[in-house]
Amino acid sequence: MSALGQAIEAPPQTAMLQMIYGFCVSRALCVAAELGIPDLLNGGAMSSEELARATETHAPSLFRLLRALESVGVFAKDDQERFALTPLGTVLRSDVPGSLRSFAIEVLGRNHYSAWGTLLHSIKTGEIAFNHVYGVGRWQYNAEHPEEAESFDQAMASATSAVAAAILDAYDFYSCGTIVDVGGGDGSLLAAILKAYPQLRGVVADLPHAVAGAQRRLQTEGLMERCDVVPCDFFAAVPKGDTYLLKWIIHDWDDQRSKMILKNCCAAMANGERVLVMEAVFRPGAATVFTKFLDLAMLVMTGGRERSEAEYRALLASANLRLTRVIPTKSELSVIEAVRA
């Protein structure tokens, strides 16, 4: 954000040059994350030569990478040419709450990057760039490439850890009984909720490869006695519960497919139960840069989109649900609460 702020304040040509080279910042961040440099700097400042030995890289080239990332606030350099972590760079450590290391590697270094290279195809045709590059949809590709599925699941867990506290701060889960995390991946969000509310039970419902990770996480967290792990296809049916979480699920899909997911949640609910859709929400005149580019990412990767409150209200109504309130959080997400209409 500091680089963006500098670009906004700079003369137009300088600002545009900084924006054009924005992809270079992204790729440099990815390489630093893949090499584990933020983890290595956890113990204190190190020279590029020391870091090169630890990462088996070319020291002069690594120095240039570190110097470039220093210019956008990821690292700091002292008068002895040693590099240290800044608060911004600390977010790329693997061992901190809210770490975005796995997310950076997934989004900036794997198939996201290739798909974004054909953004023009999506703009010209309205089709999904990922499908154009790989010949299949994102989810089928992950099912056929376990290493990609594992990277994606780690990235989503990373991103979830960055927003879980904001969700817990904004929404009171006390009156819930059994929470079903639909498309819940490795169960990161549900684990955070269950730890904060010891009286609750939970269900992680997702594709088989995803719930295998959930079982491992919940066992590690000591939560398996209060939580079930259920393989499911949320286009067919979802398990019974009284509260349905859909975090970063609906934005992956077009209206028709989103309606199918929501209708299945509605069918499993009794009166008085609720659906909690957790997404970025477009607000007139107030949508953030992140939300606007996340919306573009959905076009490129999955064919989904970010939506306004009015669009969510209409989408929920089409699935026999009534939007009751939209609760902003301290993150980019809002909690969109709905009940049976």
pLDDT at residue number 49: 97
What pTM, to 2 d.p., does this model score? 0.88
Contacts of residue 288, defined as CB under 8 A and 6 or more positions apart, other chains included, come to 280, 332
Helix (H) or strand (E) holding 52: helix 48-55
Under 8 Å between Cβ of 248 and 184: no
Q: How far is CA 164 from CA 84, 97, 119, 196, 205, in A?
A: 28, 10, 31, 11, 18
pLDDT digits (tens, 9 = 90+) for 181-200: 999 988 999 999 999 999 99
In angstroms, rounded to a whole number, what is the distance separating the alpha carbons of residues 291 and 274? Answer: 25
- Percentage of residues in the chain having pLDDT higher than 70: 97
* pLDDT at position 4 over 50: no
pLDDT in tens, 205-214: 998 877 888 8
Alpha-helical segments (H) within 221-254: none
How is domain 107-340 classified at the CATH fold level?
A: Rossmann fold (3.40.50)
Q: Answer whether 104's CB lies under 8 Å from 33's CB.
A: yes
CA dihedral 118, 122, 127, 132 (to 10 degrees): -10
Tokens encoding 212: 């295998």
Query: What pLDDT does residue 66 have?
Result: 98
Q: Please identify every residue annotated as catalytic.
A: 251
Question: What is the CATH T-level fold of the domain 2-92, as seen in this structure?
Answer: Arc Repressor Mutant, subunit A (1.10.10)
pLDDT band at 111 (very low <50, low <70, confident <90, very high): confident
Boundaries of every domain in the chain: 2-92, 107-340
Q: Residue 8: its pLDDT value, please?
A: 52
